[in-house]
Amino acid sequence: MIARPIYAVLEREVVRMFRQRTRLVSAMVRPLIWLFVIGAGFGAVLGQARGIDYQQFLVPGVLGMTVLFGSMLAALTMVYDKESGVMRMLIIAPFAHHWIIVAKTLAAALAGIVQAVLLLIVLALLGFLSRQMHYALLFAGVLVTALACAGIGILVAAFTRTLDNFAAIMNFVIFPVFFLSGALYPIDNLPVALKVAAMLNPFTYAVDLLKHAMLTASAASASELRVGIDFLACVGFTVLAVVLASWRFSREQAYEPLIHILTGKRG
């Protein structure tokens, strides 16, 4: 019963993603800039991080970044949907409203996965991928990373009225999530407060998982946590985020600003 509506939301996400090609291209270019510019620059200063070349260390991080931006921004478009006609179509459709959150989270995760696959192709062509990767673990890792990133986005979207203040979301959500994750540097070198913040960040576990999958030869030193814990943290956070966002979304309707956002007036 609910499969088709969810499919509809996923299909719309993919159609929209390939329509906005510049967004897709920039999603490919952004990680490469990090890899070539930051990677080369800091690589020259640092030499090696945890026994491996810094640029190699950065590869799982930029893959994670692509998923983070891809999934999170896609989930954040729910705020835009609230202001446009799409949410009207969704709220009058015959299913419980928490399915809107579930469908949107899955669609956002799919957006991140598609971008991750495209980036992996680019990275492979540029010779950045090791032949000894754990392919199954990489697949599963990208999947749960995308879900967790979509979860962060949907949580922010559920508590946000408009995207007018996108800069604030960038400063207070996207940047901290990215910088405090181990994507750019090992977290156990961080001061205690930041390390605690990193341990509370679901993206930390996602990036760690990608390191496990991609840096096989030196995984023992590059990744800092156990695979099982990484999985549990990502999946657990996603479930929590969906439940919280659904609760918030239905509460918003109980108090009715949603319908007023939709119609702009009481008639």
Partner 1 sequence: MNDARPLALESAVHTQGLTKRYGEVLAVDGLDLQIPAGRFFGLLGPNGSGKTTTIHMLSTLVRPSAGRAAVAGHDVERDAVPVRASIGLVFQDSALDRTLTVAQNLRFAGLLYNLAPALIEQRGRELLELFGLNDKRDRPVGSLSGGMRRALDIVRGVIHHPRILFLDEPTIGLDLPNRRKIWRFIERLRASTGMTVLLTTHYLEEADTCDEVAFINSGKIVQRGTPRELVDRLGRHIVEIEARDLDPLVQSLAPRLGRELRDGDMAMFRYPEENVAPIAALQTELVGRVSAFRIRRPNLNDVFLWVNAAR
- Binding residues (CB under 8 A) for partner 1: these are 1, 4-5, 7-8, 11-12, 15-16, 19, 84-86, 88-96, 253-254, 256, 259, 262-267
Please state the length of the chain: 267
Location of structure tokens 């309707």: 253
CB 81 within 8 A of CB 12: no
Q: Is the backbone of residue 236 left (phi > 0), alpha (psi -120 to 50) or beta?
A: alpha
Location of structure tokens 């006609």: 85
- In order of 100, 116, 161, 186, the CA distances from 263 in angstroms are 19, 37, 14, 49
Token pair recorded at residue 40: 């080369």
CB 119 within 8 A of CB 28: yes
Q: Which of 172, 177, 171 is nearest to 150 (CA)?
A: 177
φ, ψ (nearest 5 deg) of residue 51: 80, 0
Q: Is the dihedral of CA 38, 41, 42, 47 positive or negative?
A: positive
Give, as one character, the DSSP assignment of residue 189.
Answer: G
Q: Is residue 49 classed as helix, strand or coil in its secondary structure? A: strand
Within 13 Å of residue 52, how many CA atoms lie on the same side as its CB?
Answer: 21
Token pair recorded at residue 218: 């030196």
